[in-house]
Amino acid sequence: MQFRFAHNNLNVLDLEKSLAFYTRALGLQEMGRKEASDGSFTLVFLGDGETTHQLELTWLRGRTQPYNLGDNEIHLAFHVDDFAAAHALHAEMGCICYENPGMGIYFISDPDGYWIEIIPVR
């Protein structure tokens, strides 16, 4: 028996805003979409074009309150081949929320407050 990662899910309040963020900030592309026949939810699957792992964004109709992220200790992480260029882009976007120069990493925050770790390829 072998298990492999398929996707991670994040619930989002504004699907279009989140799609724009993940496209610009991380270069993710829409790989698929499922919309409920009654319009109650939309699932959008994003991929990096290199791996099979996907990020599923879930939008729920009628949701108006921000999601409770608790202590926000759970995060996604991405390797990047040009760390300096990524840092410059994220600084321009104003989404850097924490930097750890000693470890050589930083975090960005998406429109819903989820943290994403940016790691240089070493």
Q: Which residues are catalytic?
A: 117
**3-state class of 93 per DSSP?**
helix
CA dist 97 and 113 (Å) reads 10
**55: part of which helix (H) or strand (E)?**
strand 54-60
Q: Starting from the edge strand earliest in sequence, which strands make up the sheet with 41-47, in order?
A: 7-12, 54-60, 41-47, 29-35
